Amino acid sequence: MSHPERPEANILRTIGSLARKLRTLFDARSGEHGLTEARARLLLHLSRSGPLTQADLAEAMEVERPTMARMIDGMEAQGLVSREIVPGDRRQRHIVLTEAAQDQCAAVLMLTEQLRAEVLSGIPEKDLEVTNRVLCRMLANVAEAGR
């Protein structure tokens, strides 16, 4: 006789599966605009936050600094970003979106909004508020466990 699993037994597996499927779908949709998922995310970070250092971008995107450096090199070669000296600290460089990146940024923002609408379709706002609160608590718990 099998016992039904308690909710906490499935939730991490479900969250992991959802994250993978969302990433795959976002990657496919980004690819329609000639971008990888990582490059599209980088455009989103810069369009939302403004210029950031390479280290700040690496931290925000949860990638290693050498990985970020290669990504920025590639995007710089495509003319999508540039490196500019940080005022007051010549050792630092801000990564800045170029004019050429604006159309791709707009496309990525639009596909992000469309994906969000599709994924959250049919879920009442009250449920989304509870879900967000629970997920934020789980993130805090993970951060605490990692110390």
Q: What is the pLDDT of residue 146?
A: 82
Q: Is residue 71 part of a domain?
A: yes
- Does some domain include residue 86? yes
Q: Where are the beta strands (DSSP E) in the chain?
A: 52-53, 81-86, 89-97
d(CA 78, CA 17): 33
**CATH code for position 89:** 1.10.10.10
3-state class (DSSP) for residue 98:
coil
The model's pTM is 0.79
* 137 part of a folded domain: no
Could you tell me if residue 109 is inside a domain? Answer: yes
Mean pLDDT by 10 residues, the chain (147 residues): 68 93 94 91 92 92 94 94 88 92 93 96 97 96 90
Domain containing 70 equals 8-114
Q: Number of folded domains in the chain?
A: 1
